[in-house]
Amino acid sequence: MKAVVIGAGLGGLLSAARLSKAGCQVDIFERLPITGGRFTNLSYKGFQLSSGAFHILPHGPAGPLAQFLNEVGADVKIVRSDIITVRVPLKKGSQDYEKGFKDIPFNDFSTLLSHKDRLKIAFLIVSTRKNRPSGSTLQTWIRSQFKDEWLVRFADAFCGWALSLKSDEVPVEEIFEIIENMYRFGGPGVPIGGCKGVIDALESVIAENGGKIHTETEVSKILVENGKAAGVLVGAEAHKANLVISNLGHAATACLCAEALSGEKDSGYLRRLETLKPSAGIKICLAADEPLVGHSGILLTPYAKRVNGINEVTQVDPRLAPPGKHLTMSHQYVAPDNVKNLESEIELGLQDLKEIFPDKKYETLLIQSYHDSWPVNRAASGMDPGNETPIPGLYVVGDGAKGKGGIEVEGVALGVAATMKKILG
């Protein structure tokens, strides 16, 4: 079988590794001079920043991505993070960190509730595993059970960090699937070498199995013959294939084969794509001589104005920064209406960091924002339209087609695994 993969992002490379290992002849076309898309390293002033991700795998060494890498023989060391902590004001009733704060472990979030609500949470933790709530957003569900704003703040920080969404944008079903996956696979981890550690390992597997990656090569059209995917057009050259995997998300993929999708029977698919909303976010990269977070996990900051959480990857892999330095990165969700006010959103993020690290010395290395066609997430979690398209032989992988309950790259891996099962059986 001949396969073409459009885009050498994580989803494209995972697909190519699996297909080439199964004996397919695979060609990958990537528009940029570099591979990895939003999941690779960017060298900047001696630091290994990233083109997107925080060098984090949401479920660490046991998650769907780690399992997939293991199955295809990609050699990556993934270190489980110690702990997730939550920064809360020292004084009950304070709405910010100005008068002091303390850090509590993630699992102790319920200690801030009233005695009655704590009992209720304990009950819900057990009962919801059997009877999953459904049919509303996470926030509506929380408000229907509790009268405590702390829980909404906590949920917003978690959803902002993990999904770049607010709790009123996430279907409650998706969150319960994520919680189930946390039980199943455990918490986050960091790949040694950062995102690029994963990308390099996948490229070795692809090369060993005869797959070819063509960088600086843009696909301009997906060829469709007799209603089936038949290859791609690169410049004036046609590359024939029986299978086309697109790593571009459903909307951009549909643009590459617009004529073939212009029939009445495809109008439902196209209408669905119009409802997809990419999520936006801002990452602020800090350099410091002393640790700012102090552990290898995530520090959630539910009482900051904008920043949702922060990590410090040098706690796991010191080589992601020059000797003696730390690389610390914050993430903040950006609401759709605020994408046009990125500068003021960034200012609020920078003010937050001053409040979160009041006595620490650090330097702002680079501020990176993501939205629209280069977003944090192409399809908001819980809204992914699956991996198939109306055209047989054309599949979509990547974060515009994640598997259920899969946070970011874990969702990418689940989507690719499901696609490969359909193709290879």
Partner 1 sequence: MKINDNCVGCGQCASFCKKGAIEVKGKALATDACVDCGVCVLYCPVKAIEVLA
Ligand X SMILES: Cc1cc2nc3c(=O)[nH]c(=O)nc-3n(C[C@H](O)[C@H](O)[C@H](O)COP(=O)(O)OP(=O)(O)OC[C@H]3O[C@@H](n4cnc5c(N)ncnc54)[C@H](O)[C@@H]3O)c2cc1C
Q: Which residue has the tokens 């995997």?
A: 245
Q: Which is nearer to partner 1, 51 or 389 (CB)?
A: 51
Out of ligand X, partner 1, none, which partner does residue 382 contact, by CB within 5 to 8 A per kind? Answer: none
The site for ligand X, by CB under 6 A, has a size of 32
When asked if residue 29 is in the footprint of ligand X (CB under 6 A), the reply is: yes
* Pick 152 or 241: Cβ nearer ligand X: 241
Coil, strand or helix: which one is 81?
Answer: coil
Stretch that binds ligand X, among 26-34, 92-100, 103-111, 129-137 (CB under 6 A): 26-34
Interactions with ligand X, residue window 345-384 (CB under 6 A): 370, 376
Burial degree of 317 (CB within 10 A; 0-12, 13-18, 19+): buried
| The token pair that represents 259 in the structure block | 């004529």
| Residues of the shown chain interacting with partner 1 in the complex, contacts defined by CB under 8 A | 32-34, 37, 42-44, 49, 51-52, 216, 342-343, 345-346, 366-374
Q: How far apart are CA 419 and CA 308, in angstroms?
A: 33
State the DSSP H helix or E strand holding residue 151, giving kind and residue range, or none if neither.
helix 149-163
Report what 369 binds from partner 1, ligand X, none; CB cut-off 5-8 Å by kind. Answer: partner 1
If one asks whether residue 247 binds ligand X (CB under 6 A), the answer comes out as yes
Opening angle at CA 179, ends 345 and 84, nearest 5: 60
194 binds ligand X (CB under 6 A): no
Write the DSSP assignment of 294-354 as a string of letters.
-SSSEEE-TTSSSEEEEEEGGGT-GGGSSTT-EEEEEEEEE-GGGGGGHHHHHHHHHHHHH
Distance between CA atoms of residues 217 and 127, nearest Å: 52
Could you tell which of ligand X, partner 1, none binds residue 54, using a CB distance below 5 to 8 A set by kind?
ligand X
Please name the residue ranges forming H helices in 192-249. Answer: 195-208
Q: Of 26, 82, 416, which Cα lies nearest the Cα of 207?
A: 26
Q: Give 201's contacts (C-beta < 8 A, 6+ positions apart).
A: 69, 74, 75, 76
* Number of other CB atoms surrounding residue 344 within 10 Å: 11
Query: Applying CB under 6 A, does 39 fall inside the site for ligand X?
Result: yes
Closer by beta carbon to ligand X, 56 or else 138: 56
Comparing CB distances to ligand X, the nearer of 137 and 164 is 164
Provide the minimum distance between the beta carbon of 332 and partner 1 in the complex, in angstroms, as a whole number.
13
- Under the criterion CB under 6 A, does residue 9 sit at the interface with ligand X? yes
Q: Which is nearer to ligand X, 133 or 278 (CB)?
A: 278
User: If binding is defined by CB under 6 A, does position 403 make contact with ligand X?
Assistant: no
Measured in degrees and rounded to the nearest 5, phi and psi for residue 282 equal -125, 135
371, interface contact from partner 1, ligand X, none, CB < 5-8 Å by kind: partner 1
Residue 309 interacts, among partner 1, ligand X, none and using kind-specific CB cut-offs from 5 to 8 Å, with none
Q: Which of 133, 189, 398, 403 binds ligand X (CB under 6 A)?
A: 398
Give the residues across from 310 on adjacent strands. Answer: 299, 330
CB of 248 to partner 1, least distance (A): 11
In whole angstroms, the minimum distance from the beta carbon of 288 to ligand X comes to: 19
Q: Rounded to whole angstroms, what are the CA distances from 85 to 167, 199, 330, 340, 362?
A: 19, 29, 14, 32, 21
Please, which of residues 78-107 interact with ligand X by CB under 6 A? none
Whether residue 326 contacts residue 314, with contact meaning beta carbons closer than 8 Å, is answered with: yes
| Closest distance to ligand X from the beta carbon of 331 (Å) | 6
User: Which residues in this chain contact ligand X in the complex, by CB under 6 A?
Assistant: 6-11, 29-32, 37-39, 52-54, 56-58, 218-219, 247-248, 281, 283, 370, 376, 398-399, 408-409, 412
